[in-house]
Structure 1
Amino acid sequence: MCFIFYAAFHILRGNPIIASISIINVIAITFILVKYKNNQLQHIHNDIFIALLSLSVIAACYELGSRGIIYIFPVVAGYIYYYKAKAAIIVSTALCTFALIASLKHLDYETAIRTLVPIMITVVISFLYAKKVEYHQTQLRHIAKSDHLTGLYNRRKLISWLKEKEARISRNNHLLFLCLGVDNFKHINDQYGHSFGDYLLQEIASKIEEQLNPLRTGDKDIVLSRVAGDEFIVGIYGVIPYTLIKSISPKLLNCVNNIDCIQGVSLSVDACVGLTTRSSAFSYEQVIKEVHIAMYDAKKASKNQTRFYSSKLAKAVQEKLHVVELLKNAMLKDEFYLVFMPVYGPTGSNITGAEALIRTHNDALSSYTPDIYIPIAEEHGLIHQLDEMVIRKAFKTLKQSALNHTDTFSLAVNISSQQLKNKHFATMAHKMALEEGVDPRQIEFELTETALVDFDQTSIDIIKQTKAYGFSVALDDFGTGYTAFSQLRNFPVDTLKIDRSFTSNIDNSGIDQGKMVDVILSLAHLYNLNVVAEGVENSQQLDYLKHRQCDSYQGYYLSKPISWSTMIALIEEKRQ
């Protein structure tokens, strides 16, 4: 609109040159707007328009003298905005020179020199501003593409690198993709602080770089990226021999394992690696997903493990996600119920307690056992909700029976090891007991022995707080985990449950068959702990345990898991 008005004004004033140039600019702007609307705008179109503007200014100076010089300033500002600083200062100087020469038709030399000073000040100030903007743009681009802590590629830059390789992958140039995840990094952060953890990550990045540098030959493009808190991704593109694929994981794991001291603190650093390869077309989302699946599978196996991605792994992940959806739906629809495994007292004839076991009415979920779907619930953040639901159902069941507030009966409820990190667990359980009118002294929470692998002061405090409310705590599957007998004095538990694998070894075939059971019973009595033998399947096992003064028993020989009403009937029948 400005150029249309300017063209009309100069037509009326009898200045056809200015009017013609203005009309040309109107046409150029209209053309650029059409291209922009159709997503067809290119740099050449902008360059042509800027050239026309420059010619318009020179023509205005030639025709109008000092009145045309004022148009130099906005055009110089436009140069600074559009071009890089160096190019902007060159074209700005050129424009000012030609414009002043053109204006000499109307100006004397003295006036031209006076006019030159503010123009050059404008150019210099604009140049300095452009340099500052350019510097900050460079910094922002670096920040946008780099990990702030290690200086490595971040996820965005890694994806950009992968997209570039998508179009270049061939039979001769392959892609090797690895994900290294540090084990128990959260524990390191919690124990030593986040600044210590940051320093450790920087050290790991440095060590991995040292391992990768010798591989950076002319035919290989190698990148290292930190994509998450403790996860590093290595991408190698080029000619990749099998020997490299086979050797790189051990080298990376070894360099991480060799970190034994950080800021004067001695520690052991472990990690796991997942790998995938490509020799044909791929998508960047898929390869990132694959290495993470492989790495997480390696972490589940043990420390310092390596896993290659496979269709079998992918199928297992899909099945887990299916189970997660089934769990969510079952909890939403309240499709879980409890059965109870009776616990018999020292004589093996009277029921003195029971263990609550979860079951489901959901047909699809019932095809999986709790041993399968409970670890999946733990892995996908559903276990706290599931635990609370089971505790609530167990408390309600006890409340609605004559066994409530009975000193001779206790109800055991299994809880996840994750509750040992939940500082609100004890308070939640106590509040629930008050709401349901249940005596905490009748409730025993069971933890598997493997839950104590990462046992720390926080876990001890949570167990102590739970016991302070009157609840008791049992260590389930004892003998199968990593607990040293000498550590028992540090674990504030009340009961040891002998794993069924030891009970099943008791028979009449040899004198050594029950030695592990004897050791556990002696140990428990030494520490004044109650002992429950699981998996009692026959009379020989029961007699052996009685003779060794075991406190309680449970197993299919005595009773299978039954409903609460059936168990109450058994108790009443025995009393009669």
Structure 2
Amino acid sequence: MSYPALFSILFFSVCIVSMVSGVLVLLNNPKAPGNRCFFAMIIAINFWSVGLAFANIAPDAATCNTWRHVSAVGWGTVYAITLHFFLIITGKKTLLKKWWFYIFLYLPAIICLLAFAIPSGLNPNPYNLQRTEFGWVNVKTIAEHNIWDWIFRAYYIGYAVTGLILVRQWGRKSSEHNIKMQSRIIFLSFAGALILASITDVLLGNFFAQLPQMAPIILLIPIIAIYHAIEKYGFIVSRPVKERTSYIRIIISATLYVVLSLMQVISSTSNSMVTIGGLSNAAFQGIITQLQVFIAIYLVLTENKPGYITALLLNAGSIFSSTGFMIQQKTAQALPGVISYLSVLLIIVLINSYKKKTAAYIEKIDNQRKNLEESEKKLYQMAYYDSLTGLHNREWFIDYLNKSIHAARRRVCLIGVILIDLDSFKSINDTMGHSFGDQVLRLLARQLSSCIREEDAIARFGGDEFLIMVSNISNLEDLHRITGRIMRVFQTPISLQNIEYFITASIGVAVYPEDGLNAETLIKNADIAMDIAKSKGKNQCVYCTSSIKEDTIKKMELTNQLYRTLERKELFLHYQPQVKADTQKITGFEALLRWNNKKYRLVTPDVFIPMAEQTRLIRSIGLWVFQTACEQLKVFQDRFHEDFSMSINLSIEQLRDDDIANKINNILRDTGTNAANIQIEITESIAFDEDTVILQRLEELKKLGVSIAIDDFGTGFSSFDRLRTFPIDLLKIDICFVHGISSGSQKDRSIIKSIIQLAKNLGMETLAEGVETRDQFLYLQEIGCNYMQGYYFYKPMPAKEIASLLQAKPEETPGPGD
């Protein structure tokens, strides 16, 4: 193959490759000015390349001159279009909005078209053509250059340099990485192309008369560079391309296709290629056609949209050239080839159509897979993370703790489980709002996370509670250091919205294996220790101990057994006599509840009464006490014919029962008890509770005819307004003041005297409980206390002993100390 034909093949290849790039950019966004300008630049390069391709293999100077005029349409306009493109991508919108600017921008291009592309008298001899072994070249010395040549030189150098400056400044001024990379790629590619084109076209092609113009081939460098910027960096004038394109395969395939086309043309016109290797001319052309078919299908299968467009252009070119050959030669020799190309064109379209459908299905499957993965991540996040603080949640913590326990068994080490509960956090939510409380929790979560080591774990247990696992520790001293760091977090105020807040916490700690062998047990024991910290005054850290666990187990067992105490008849009453101060005669009794448990034997009231109140069993138990006490009072009255009274305690939980007055009235009626002989005792804390229901219930009870007594008076939050408002008949002086009499405390004596005087002034009576010595009795008698109760007189006794006591001295008044 001759050198001129080889160069023509290169020029045609430039057309194919550049046209593919231009079409792809235009298809991505046809309305974008930059995309349109880039495509116009590709069209100009194609005019330049096609003109040079035909001019280089022209049989004579006249034909070459004609094709040179065609080529001038491309190289005469490409520099103006390129500068226009640079102005668009660099954002020179102010200039581009002025209509007159386009006149100045394209004026040099119009002059070049008039001087070099359109035959006229303006430039009668634009070319000095000479044939070389490489093809036709335009040879002009400096002396032979006319004014139009110098105008063109100034035009292309000025526009090229201006464009490079614009691109360079665009990259320097921008702070975005992508724009900087785009600017660098475009600047280097265009600058390199300008230098190479000047060397090949001006020096080698013009002054030394060797090579044809190489500029169109060299311009492939910046064209492919721009497309690379589009693909990799999401270039400003187009959407980024999803899949990478192999331009090497496209260029090689397109070049091979053009070479085969030229061989086909040569074989059709040259007698030297009638037979090759024993093949006929028709067979040879058929083989070439099949090879072209293979190349076209290969491109559309391997290179997606760029390959599809290249294959379309190559086959369209073959169809036009073959059709033109048939018309020119007036022969049907090329008809099979035309049919083959048309078939291939249809096959290419079908393959591309099915590829699009397949790609759509694959994309849909990929999207579904991505959605599933995202859903799995969201589900995992929801299942094992706390949405507010970003910490792990309870479920994850328990699972991780069990795994850590399994590992600790092998390593023989300790694990600490720390449960943190914020003190009075509800007040923050109530006063500042829940959104503010959420900010506090997030801040504390970060601070607590900073207290632990990398191998430890932290989770939000729920509400205002946090769990921390300290793993792989050899002794308790390490755990004490960490809990010390945690406590110091709460010693420093937190600052939110320029306001400081002091927040404290109660902390419970359980240690594996001493306090449990699994996560559930360890967390439970840490919770128990935290409750102890709360009960001791909060803002402290308590480690779980064997005694704490034993007490908790006992409390839990007693609470469970409390439900069946009435059924098992384990509850019973003791009665402590109350005496009149001046005669020491028994006037009544206080019913005191006792519990004889099968396992723990006698359980004191201070242990099981709070349990009964927490479980609300006190309501049923309290009614049993009331009925039993009334029945026993009736027995005492009927047997000994005395108008005894009975004091019965009611808890705040009983008073919150809307129907308590009705239930007590039914008991009084059923037992035949006179309401005037029943005295209901309530503690001072109940009497002065802010709940308005308490006053309502006491008034309802008072209407039944019972009397109301305040127990432990003077130890709570006394209120003169409540004493005035509530229907109170008797004040019971607390034992702590009575014991102060024996110790010689003048303050206690003064308090007792004040209480008695206050009661008299308000029309109430007084009863001193816990009287144990003679001097206590004498002092209380002296200052006018109405009634007394205590071991100095009688201890609490079963009903049988009370009956025996009353039977032994039915008419006698017992003396002090008897």
Cα 1:289–1:192, aligned 2, differ >3 Å: closer, same or farther? same
Moved more, 142-151 or 337-346: 142-151
Of residues 177, 192, 209, the one that matches 2:417 is 177
Quote the Cα distance in structure 2 between the aligned partners of 1:396 and 1:209.
60
Of residues 505, 529, 535, the one that matches 1:300 is 535
Cα 1:370–1:435, aligned 2, differ >3 Å: closer, same or farther? closer
Of residues 208, 231, 244, the one that matches 2:465 is 231
More helix by share: 2
How far does residue 302 in structure 1 lie from its aligned partner after superposition?
Answer: 2.3
Where does residue 433 of structure 1 map in the other structure? 665
Where does residue 508 of structure 2 map in the other structure? 274
Kept in 2: contact 1:211–1:251 (CA 8 A): no
Quote the Cα distance in structure 2 between the aligned partners of 1:168 and 1:428.
58
2:579 pairs with 1:359 = no
Quote the Cα distance in structure 2 between the aligned partners of 1:157 and 1:351.
66
Kept in 2: contact 1:340–1:356 (CA 8 A): yes
2:443 pairs with 1:211 = no
2:471 pairs with 1:247 = no
Cα 1:244–1:121, aligned 2, differ >3 Å: closer, same or farther? same
Kept in 2: contact 1:176–1:277 (CA 8 A): yes
Secondary structure class of the residue paired with 2:506: strand
Kept in 1: contact 2:452–2:470 (CA 8 A): no
How far does residue 505 in structure 1 lie from its aligned partner after superposition?
Answer: 3.0
Where does residue 477 of structure 1 map in the other structure? 712
Secondary structure class of the residue paired with 1:537: coil
Quote the Cα distance in structure 1 between the aligned partners of 2:419 and 2:541.
10
Q: What does 1:11-410 correspond to in 2, within 5 Å?
A: 110-147=349-386, 150-169=389-408, 175-183=415-423, 188=427, 192=430, 196=433, 198-199=434-435, 202-216=438-452, 219-227=454-462, 229-237=463-471, 241=478, 244-245=481-482, 247-254=484-491, 258=493, 271-278=505-512, 282-360=517-595, 362-378=597-613, 382-398=617-633, 402=637, 410=645
How far does residue 539 in structure 1 lie from its aligned partner after superposition?
Answer: 3.4
Tell me which amino acid in the other structure corresponds to 1:180. Answer: I
Kept in 2: contact 1:271–1:304 (CA 8 A): yes
Task: Provide Cα deviations, 1:331-352, integer angstroms capped at 9, x if missing partner.
Answer: 3323322222222234353444
Tell me which amino acid in the other structure corresponds to 2:396. Answer: K
Task: Provide Cα deviations, 1:389-444, integer angstroms capped at 9, x if missing partner.
Answer: 3234334445667589x997543222345456xx3x25234324225415666544
Quote the Cα distance in structure 1 between the aligned partners of 2:652 and 2:526.
28
Q: What does 1:486-505 correspond to in 2, within 5 Å?
A: 489=723, 492=726, 494=728, 495-505=730-740
Kept in 2: contact 1:272–1:306 (CA 8 A): yes
Quote the Cα distance in structure 2 between the aligned partners of 1:330 and 1:390.
12
Secondary structure class of the residue paired with 1:356: strand
Tell me which amino acid in the other structure corresponds to 2:402. Answer: K
Kept in 2: contact 1:326–1:364 (CA 8 A): no
Cα 1:325–1:311, aligned 2, differ >3 Å: closer, same or farther? same
Quote the Cα distance in structure 2 between the aligned partners of 1:537 and 1:210.
59
Cα 1:172–1:565, aligned 2, differ >3 Å: closer, same or farther? closer
Tell me which amino acid in the other structure corresponds to 1:415. Answer: L
Aligned residue pairs total 457
Kept in 1: contact 2:596–2:603 (CA 8 A): no
Tell me which amino acid in the other structure corresponds to 2:526. Answer: V
Kept in 2: contact 1:426–1:462 (CA 8 A): no
Quote the Cα distance in structure 2 between the aligned partners of 1:260 and 1:575.
75
Kept in 1: contact 2:510–2:543 (CA 8 A): yes
Quote the Cα distance in structure 1 between the aligned partners of 2:724 and 2:503.
25
How far does residue 385 in structure 1 lie from its aligned partner after superposition?
Answer: 4.0
Where structure 1 has 5 or more consecutive residues not aligned to the other structure, the ranges are 1-88, 90-96, 99-106
Kept in 2: contact 1:446–1:475 (CA 8 A): yes
Kept in 2: contact 1:260–1:267 (CA 8 A): yes
Quote the Cα distance in structure 2 between the aligned partners of 1:347 and 1:552.
8
Task: Provide Cα deviations, 1:279-303, integer angstroms capped at 9, x if missing partner.
Answer: 8994212321221121112222223
TM-score (norm 2): 0.48
Kept in 2: contact 1:445–1:472 (CA 8 A): yes
Secondary structure class of the residue paired with 2:785: coil
Tell me which amino acid in the other structure corresponds to 1:294. Answer: A
Quote the Cα distance in structure 2 between the aligned partners of 1:133 and 1:337.
66
Tell me which amino acid in the other structure corresponds to 1:343. Answer: Q
Where structure 2 has 5 or more consecutive residues not aligned to the other structure, the ranges are 1-242, 244-300, 303-345, 814-818
Tell me which amino acid in the other structure corresponds to 2:665. Answer: A
Kept in 1: contact 2:698–2:727 (CA 8 A): no
Cα 1:174–1:329, aligned 2, differ >3 Å: closer, same or farther? same
Quote the Cα distance in structure 2 between the aligned partners of 1:181 and 1:414.
35
Quote the Cα distance in structure 2 between the aligned partners of 1:456 and 1:192.
22
Secondary structure class of the residue paired with 1:558: coil
Quote the Cα distance in structure 1 between the aligned partners of 2:576 and 2:495.
48
Cα 1:490–1:118, aligned 2, differ >3 Å: closer, same or farther? farther
Tell me which amino acid in the other structure corresponds to 2:397. Answer: L
Cα 1:419–1:340, aligned 2, differ >3 Å: closer, same or farther? same
Quote the Cα distance in structure 1 between the aligned partners of 2:494 and 2:378.
32
Where does residue 690 of structure 2 map in the other structure? 457
How far does residue 497 in structure 1 lie from its aligned partner after superposition?
Answer: 1.9
Kept in 2: contact 1:507–1:513 (CA 8 A): no
Secondary structure class of the residue paired with 2:771: coil
Q: Give percent identity, aligned residues only.
A: 25
Cα 1:163–1:487, aligned 2, differ >3 Å: closer, same or farther? farther
Where does residue 544 of structure 1 map in the other structure? 779
Quote the Cα distance in structure 2 between the aligned partners of 1:296 and 1:502.
32
Quote the Cα distance in structure 2 between the aligned partners of 1:410 and 1:268.
53
Q: CA RMSD in A?
A: 4.5
Quote the Cα distance in structure 2 between the aligned partners of 1:303 and 1:537.
37
Tell me which amino acid in the other structure corresponds to 1:461. Answer: V
Kept in 2: contact 1:396–1:436 (CA 8 A): no
Cα 1:436–1:247, aligned 2, differ >3 Å: closer, same or farther? same
Secondary structure class of the residue paired with 2:569: coil
Tell me which amino acid in the other structure corresponds to 2:416. Answer: L
Quote the Cα distance in structure 2 between the aligned partners of 1:179 and 1:172.
23
Tell me which amino acid in the other structure corresponds to 1:483. Answer: F
Cα 1:245–1:486, aligned 2, differ >3 Å: closer, same or farther? farther
Q: What does 1:550-561 correspond to in 2, within 5 Å?
A: 550-561=785-796
Secondary structure class of the residue paired with 1:241: helix
How far does residue 203 in structure 1 lie from its aligned partner after superposition?
Answer: 4.9
Kept in 1: contact 2:578–2:789 (CA 8 A): yes
Quote the Cα distance in structure 2 between the aligned partners of 1:332 and 1:288.
34
The answer to which structure, 1 or 2, has the higher relative contact order (CA under 8 A, 6+ apart) is 1
How far does residue 554 in structure 1 lie from its aligned partner after superposition?
Answer: 1.0
Cα 1:167–1:442, aligned 2, differ >3 Å: closer, same or farther? same
Moved more, 202-211 or 286-295: 202-211
Tell me which amino acid in the other structure corresponds to 1:275. Answer: V
Tell me which amino acid in the other structure corresponds to 1:431. Answer: K
Where does residue 49 of structure 1 map in the other structure? none
Kept in 1: contact 2:633–2:645 (CA 8 A): no
TM-score (norm 1): 0.65
Tell me which amino acid in the other structure corresponds to 1:304. Answer: N
Kept in 2: contact 1:274–1:293 (CA 8 A): yes
How far does residue 156 in structure 1 lie from its aligned partner after superposition?
Answer: 0.4
How far does residue 125 in structure 1 lie from its aligned partner after superposition?
Answer: 3.4
Task: Provide Cα deviations, 1:4-33, integer angstroms capped at 9, x if missing partner.
Answer: xxxxxxxxxxxxxxxxxxxxxxxxxxxxxx
Tell me which amino acid in the other structure corresponds to 2:403. Answer: E
